[in-house]
Amino acid sequence: MAHIPVLLKEIIKYSDPRPGENFIDGTCGGGGHTVEILPRIGKEGKILCLDLDEDALVRASQNIAAQNKDLSERVFFANDNFANLEAVVSKNNFSPVNVILVDLGMSSDQLEESSRGFSFLKDEPLDMRFSIKQELTAGEIVNQWPQDELEKIFREYGEEKFARRISQQIVSARKLKPILTTGRLVLEIVQAVPKRFQYGRIHFATRSFQALRIAVNDELGNLEKFLPQAINILADGGRLVLISFHSLEDRIVKNFFRTQAKEGKLRILTKKPITPSTEEIQTNPRSRSAKLRAALKLS
């Protein structure tokens, strides 16, 4: 399944790409956003695409090349974390930077084809690393971390009301046999969640899987490292556009924007987060929790 760019019309509106501008796609994924932006920045504009997932960059380069020829002077790829933005920009001598976009969501390819255990709907190894160069895996957390640390992860990163019960169940179960697959983890979670909460609109394992993925990849820490670098790198009048998919990310972005606005460094372009239309959610159900915030750098 091809990755469907979320809030694409809104991204174009708030990033407002113009001919000759330089653009950074901080989480390139399948390259869907870049494909749409390239024609708008013209032959003089350039895009730097970052992604921590090596496989994602390969797919992105193929997808972009399929629709755009002669990209060697216009599109640059970096297999790196957007938390290292300043270093990547310096290494690639990429300036000035007029627009920075970060889509914090998972791509369909990662969920369905990576075989890294991101989805609770498939039985795969408990991995959840965006980059296989990374050492920490979800399997290590689930099987080796103490119960109080597991509970903290589920409560803080997953906002899971049954964090204690789930962590206790995991610790009890792993004593008998290591929990090595997503399927086995789902079986342990379902035993910890009361029956009346097992059939809600959101799958009972959603929050636990989200929490583990965030912990494995230090997603919140990376976002906090990225934001001030983005402001430093942007040219005056540059736009910063972020799409988040859960309240923890959105809160970090909202608070950062407010602080920077009070200091006169940013003008917030979205008084409230922009969310998908009913039509988009029907077409792409995974977009339902997306929230877009945008700001403009002041001189």
Residue 88 near residue 48 (C-beta atoms within 8 A)? yes
pLDDT in tens, 115-135: 889 999 889 999 999 988 999
pLDDT in tens, 2-34: 456 889 999 999 999 999 999 999 999 888 888
Domains of the chain: 8-109+219-297 (3.40.50.150), 114-217 (1.10.150.170)
Omega of the bond leading into 96 within 30 degrees of 0 (cis) = yes
pLDDT in tens, 136-188: 999 999 999 999 999 999 999 999 999 999 999 999 999 999 999 999 999 99
- Using CA atoms, how far apart are residues 140 and 143, in angstroms rounded to an integer? 5
CA distances to 53, 213, 256, 290 from 156, rounded to whole Å, are 25, 13, 19, 20
Percent of the chain exceeding pLDDT 70 equals 94
Please give the single-letter amino acid code of residue 33.
H
Helix (H) or strand (E) holding 23: strand 22-25
Residue 19 near residue 45 (C-beta atoms within 8 A)? yes
Looking only at the bridges linking them, the beta strands covering 75-78 and 266-268 are unpaired
> How many residues are listed for the chain in this entry?
299
- 29: exposed, middle or buried (Cβ count in 10 Å: 0-12, 13-18, 19+): buried
> Where does the pLDDT of residue 86 fall: very low under 50, low under 70, confident under 90, or very high at 90 and above?
very high
193 pLDDT above the threshold of 50: yes
Residue 22 near residue 75 (C-beta atoms within 8 A)? no
- Using CA atoms, how far apart are residues 65 and 48, in angstroms rounded to an integer? 14
Average pLDDT across the chain, whole number: 92
* Confidence (pTM): 0.92
- Using CA atoms, how far apart are residues 106 and 118, in angstroms rounded to an integer? 9
Report the pLDDT averaged over residues 49-74: 81
